Amino acid sequence: MQVYLPIAEMSVDGLLIVGIGLAVGLLSGLFGVGGGFLMTPLLIFIGLPSAVAVATSANQTMGASISGLMAHWRRGNVDGKMGMVLTLAGLAGSGFGVQVFALVRRVGQLDLVVSVFYVVVLGILGALMAAESARAWLRRRRKIPRRLHEHFWMHGLPMKMRFRKSRLYISVVPPVAIGFGIGFLSAIMGVGGGFILVPAMIYLLGMPTSVVIGTSLFQVVFVTAAVTVLQSVSTQSVDVILSLLLMVGAVAGAQFGASMGSRLRGEETRGLLGLLVLAVAIGLGYTLVRTPEAMFVLEPIR
């Protein structure tokens, strides 16, 4: 079933798009992440322009995350104050990221920059996650107890703030820096950033696990919403038809994934997610060094 995408200005197989949404939704439900980091590379792989893939993926991630946010909000698992700090910093970061995105697109290096960001960010993260889950697995076997959370040098920076729900009294600088960074990556990579935000909240901020998912969803929903609007304004590359097709699959897939995920242990899930992230990084890394099929590329001027 061919569907014409009005913004991408091309026809695609509608069932293929729904299928991609389903697959990504399944994995995101399984691992509890938004799945934008899988969506964008898959869309680029089937031939969509990088700009459309990134901008639309952010829009889709927002829709896919909203029901999770509402569920966590009802259960009181959202640290609203921390969420606001992360979101405000995230808005600044995404505003900056969209400017960089538009600039890079003008000079014709968008494909390269998107791929390099994916390879570097996902490569580091996948390796860290796989290593961490291996350590956790070993620790569990040897029964070494862990502390609740550790204080880093960065928690002692000035401008201390109390986050009651997270039971933290730390400097506001680290959450602002993290929020800004995630917002920037969200604009460049079309991801929600949950897969970076969650480990950053646990290991860098020392937030209790119970509020981490809800609070990260809070930031993801607002920042991807901002990215959607900013990309619509500066690059006109958000394709709503593509986004809605992806969401039909993603919403269904996420429910199955979530029920599958409940049967896996925490560190096993994280280990598998780490391997998946690494695989995406290696796949995109290969496209950077492989000899291209065509030595010239064509790009319309608007």
Partner 1 sequence: MTRVVLALLGLLLGALPARALVAELSQREIAVSTGFTGAELIVYGAKDTIPADIVVAVRGPQAPVVVRQRRRVAGIWLNGTSVRFDTAPGYYAVASTRPLAELLSEAERRRLRLGLDLLPLRASEPDLGDGFRHALIELKRDRGLYRQAESGVSVTGERLFATRILLPPTVPPGLYLVDVLGVQGGRVVASRDLAFNVRRVGTSAEIWRFAHAYPWLYGFAAVVAAAVVGWAGSVVFRRG
- How many degrees, rounded to 5, is the angle at CA 201 between CA 196 and CA 206? 150
The single residue among 143, 147, 263, 290 that binds partner 1, judged by CB under 8 A, is 290
Alpha-carbon dihedral sign for residues 273, 276, 278, 281? negative
Beta bridge partners, 13, equal 2
Shortest distance, CB of residue 236 to partner 1, whole angstroms? 5
Residues 48-67 interacting with partner 1 (rule: CB under 8 A): 59-60, 62-67
Q: Which stretch binds partner 1 (CB under 8 A): 7-15, 139-147, 187-195, 206-214?
A: 7-15
The single residue among 177, 229, 264, 272 that binds partner 1, judged by CB under 8 A, is 229
**Residue 301 engages partner 1 in binding (rule: CB under 8 A):** yes
The single residue among 15, 100, 112, 154 that binds partner 1, judged by CB under 8 A, is 112
Beta bridge partners, 3, equal 12
Beta bridge partners, 11, equal 4
Residue among 136 and 251 whose Cβ is closer to partner 1 = 251
DSSP 23-58: HHHHHHHHHTS--HHHHHHHHHHTT--HHHHHHHHH
Q: Is 28 left (phi over 0), alpha (psi -120 to 50) or beta?
A: alpha
Residue among 49 and 93 whose Cβ is closer to partner 1 = 49
Using CB under 8 A, list all residues that contact partner 1. 2-7, 9-11, 59-60, 62-67, 70, 108-109, 111-112, 116, 225, 228-233, 236, 238, 240-241, 243-244, 247-248, 251-252, 254-255, 288-292, 294-301
